[in-house]
Amino acid sequence: MKKVVQTISQATLLKSPTGIQGFDEITAGGLPAGRPTLVCGSAGCGKTLFGMEFLVRGATLYDEPGVFMSFEETNEELIQNVASLGFDLEDLIKHKKIALDHVHIERSEIEETGEYDLEGLFIRLGYAIDSIGAKRVVLDTIESLFAGLPNQLILRAELRRLFRWIKEKGVTAIITGERGDETLTRQGLEEYVSDCVIVLDHRVTEQTSTRRLRVVKYRGSLHGTNEYPFLIDETGFSVLPITSLGLEHIVSNERISSGITELDKMLEGKGYFRGSTVLVSGTAGVGKTSVAAHFAEAACKRGERVLYFCFEESPNQLMRNMRSIGIKLEPWVQKGLLQFQATRPTFYGLEMHLAVTHKAVNAFKPDIVIMDPINTFILGDKENEVKTMLMRIVDFLKENQITALFTSLTSTESTLESSDVGISSLIDTWLLLRDIELNGERNRGMYVLKSRGMANSNQIREFILTNNGVELREVYIGASGVLTGSARVAQEANENAGLLKRKHEIERKKRELERKRKLMESRIAAMHAEFKSEESEALKNIETEQDTINLLERDKIEMAVSRKSIIEKRKKKKHIKL
Amino acid sequence: MNEKSVVKTIKRKPPKTDDNKWVLRLYVAGQSPKALTAFTNLKKICAEQLEGKYSIEVIDLLINPQRGNEDQILALPTLVRKLPVPVRKIIGDLSDTERVLVGLDLLRVD
């Protein structure tokens, strides 16, 4: 993107890169080369520093020497002031990279006696430029001349000539000006310097101050027209081109573990997408930070770099607390994989937070950024601004393929989903932690509210903090609703008891059956025995009867033998019988 | 060329008494009309007011640009009264004699 713009601008307008972080992006390459630029703003807004950094970066990065003509501060003061930003001016002066020239005019020493011009200033500036072959010039603050020289007519004419002369010289110049009441500058310098006008601002809203920069005008070039926050810190100026370049992020199909196995299972068993934005929201004390810490630990174990912004706890407190659930973060901090950035949200304005985030991310180059929690930014009714800021952060992180995890505290009064609706559209994976109050007990439940691009589980899991970290359990869903905590345990015990009882019942029935079978079998045996005894007795009787019959028969025969007459008749009868 | 010789002649003029020595510097840029007017006016005023107890050094910043820093010269022409102290600066072509005299503390404004 940047490259394209640069090639286009080369054809139209040559630009001189400032080397100021972010500024070259919003101006698509820097300040107009060979032309003067007006930088104006109220006192203490950073005009001098802007100019100084332009020169120092020019001298060190782009090999373009520069002249700093100061109308306010002496050379010694300047050197001291910018030393705090890590600029070694004395060294640069020694190497003829930078020339300082302090122009001092004392009104009381000066008497005006007729016609004059400012050729002296031209000669001085020209001499300074020529002495080091300067390509860049800063005049800070030329408006002081108005206080020193009484004849405004001459002065204005001369200033006009000066700016034209600068253009002719082909040096890129920054002219600073104090902000006026109605006009951009007190003396209307914008009339003379019309190629590029930058306004710096230092505003206080809700007791926090934010520095902002705006390119009011830039002839012959595209430029961002927004107000961009900037910050001045130990590494100098940085401007944030935060309203980003559109939704053109590269997306990754890589999945990374959330650090909680059961949670990964809820997300197709793989976890979050790399470069996605995860929001963990919930009421107070539901374990948002624990989820974040798990994620951080898992990432560090994979050897990734994690930047952890904590806005409510100090890093030490956070590490101590996480130790209690078995997450040890100290070793990773010592190894340099994990870095904490702890600041109070109220410490500076939103834009500044954004700026700090940018800087920290650019410096640490993390794979994962955690912000815990984000909603502490919302002070008063700035929700819209917070949303914009978060959007910028999300965009910025996505662009860099950084996975972001935000935690957000939702108030108990509003519904869980609505309070975060402001940013929900920015979020790819949204985990909701919620309280489940039942039977005088407060338990935690977790579910995946949404997760773009994956078939996530729709189940509520009970969220338990143990000595070994977070555990997710399946909750009991029955006729009386979702049961968690001891109610779930009781229900489970109940179920277990019922089961046991049934098992016992079966056992008992089996035994009964067995007993019956045995009873039956013994009965059968007894009957067998009885039968046997009866049988043998019967057989015996039968035998005896038979014997008796036989005996009688024999007796009859014997009798017949004795009585021959009867024998014939009896023989016939006997045959029939037998 | 002409101006250089002028500078030399005037520089050679020794001050009569050390206590009352007036050291004046006139900064110019080349021989612009304003520079020439200023020089003429200065000579006239000095001759009238400071007869014999002054020296004038004319510095052409086009030739010696680095000398401008010493006296914080912006406007040209500028007349600097180095001695007696305090240093006074008078800018312009010195055509307003009265103001020049005020500037040089030669005339009190009543």
Q: Which ipTM score applies to this complex?
A: 0.78
The DSSP symbol for A465 reads E
Minimal Cα–Cα distance from A180 to chain B, Å?
25
pLDDT value of residue A137: 93
**CATH, domain range B2-13+21-103:** 3.40.30.10
Minimal Cα–Cα distance from B58 to chain A, Å?
14
For the residues of A466-534, what is the DSSP string, one character each? ETTEEEEEEPEEETTEEE-HHHHHHHHHHHHHHHHHHHHHHHHHHHHHHHHHHHHHHHHHHHHHHHHHH
Q: Do B94 and A126 count as a contact with CB atoms less than 8 A apart? A: no
Q: Do B74 and A124 count as a contact with CB atoms less than 8 A apart? A: yes
Q: Do B93 and A116 count as a contact with CB atoms less than 8 A apart? A: yes
Angstrom distance (rounded) from CA A66 to CA A74: 17
Confidence of residue B8 (pLDDT cuts 50, 70, 90): very low
Tell me how many helices (H) and strands (E) chain A has: 17, 25
- Closest Cβ opposite residue B99 in set A112, A121, A127: A112
A127 interaction partners in chain B (CB closer than 8 Å): 65-66, 68
Would you give the distance in Å from CA A326 to the centre of its chain? Answer: 22
B69 interaction partners in chain A (CB closer than 8 Å): 101, 124
Angstrom distance (rounded) from CA A18 to CA A31: 7
pLDDT value of residue A542: 92
pLDDT value of residue A327: 87
Angstrom distance (rounded) from CA B75 to CA B87: 16
Q: Which fold has domain A255-474?
A: Rossmann fold (3.40.50)
Q: What is the pTM of this model?
A: 0.65
Mean pLDDT per segment of 10 residues, for chain A of length 578 residues? 46 81 83 90 86 90 91 88 85 90 81 84 89 91 82 86 90 88 78 84 74 86 79 77 59 85 85 88 82 90 90 87 88 90 74 77 89 70 69 81 85 56 75 78 81 81 82 71 72 85 93 94 93 92 91 88 67 61
Angstrom distance (rounded) from CA B91 to CA B77: 6
Give the architecture-level CATH label for domain A34-201.
3-Layer(aba) Sandwich (3.40)
Of A351, A5, A23, A66, the C-alpha closest to A196 is A23
**Cβ neighbour number for residue A441 with a 10 Å cutoff:** 12
The DSSP symbol for B69 reads T
Q: Do A111 and B34 count as a contact with CB atoms less than 8 A apart? A: no
User: Domain boundaries in chain A?
Assistant: 34-201, 255-474, 489-572
Which residue matches tokens 């001759």?
A: B47
Token readout for B29 is 């840029």
Helix (H) or strand (E) holding A70: strand A66-70
Q: Is B105 exposed, middle or buried (0-12, 13-18, 19+ CB in 10 A)?
A: exposed
Sheet with B78-83: strands ordered across: A110-112, B88-91, B78-83, B22-28, B54-60
Handedness of CA A477, A480, A483, A487 (dihedral sign): negative
pLDDT value of residue A573: 63
Minimal Cα–Cα distance from B9 to chain A, Å?
25
Q: Do A113 and B95 count as a contact with CB atoms less than 8 A apart? A: yes
Minimal Cα–Cα distance from B17 to chain A, Å?
26
A103 interaction partners in chain B (CB closer than 8 Å): 72, 74
Token readout for A497 is 């008891």
Q: Do B92 and A105 count as a contact with CB atoms less than 8 A apart? A: no
Residue of A nearest to B85 (CA): A109
Average pLDDT for B72-97: 84
Residue B16 has pLDDT above 50, yes or no: no
Angstrom distance (rounded) from CA B83 to CA A419: 78
Q: Where on the phi/psi map is residue A236: left (φ > 0), alpha (ψ -120 to 50), or beta?
A: left
- A224 with A243: CB under 8 angstroms? yes
Minimal Cα–Cα distance from A150 to chain B, Å?
11
pLDDT value of residue B18: 52
pLDDT value of residue A227: 81
pLDDT value of residue A4: 47
Residue of A nearest to B105 (CA): A111
- Closest Cβ opposite residue A111 in set B62, B68, B103: B103
Helices (H), A87-208: 89-94, 119-132, 144-148, 152-169
Q: Which of B64, B70, B91 to mutate to test the interface with A (most CBs of A within 10 A)?
A: B91
Minimal Cα–Cα distance from B3 to chain A, Å?
18
Angstrom distance (rounded) from CA A525 to CA A390: 91
Residue B15 has pLDDT above 60, yes or no: no
Instruction: For residue A422, give Cα distances in angstroms to A392, A408, A427.
Output: 14, 12, 10
Q: Do A104 and B99 count as a contact with CB atoms less than 8 A apart? A: no
Residue of A nearest to B87 (CA): A109
Angstrom distance (rounded) from CA A430 to CA A426: 10
Angstrom distance (rounded) from CA A271 to CA A278: 11
User: Domain boundaries in chain B?
Assistant: 2-13+21-103
Would you give the distance in Å from CA A36 to the centre of its chain? Answer: 43
- Closest Cβ opposite residue A113 in set B66, B74, B100: B100
Helix (H) or strand (E) holding A364: helix A350-364
B66 interaction partners in chain A (CB closer than 8 Å): 127
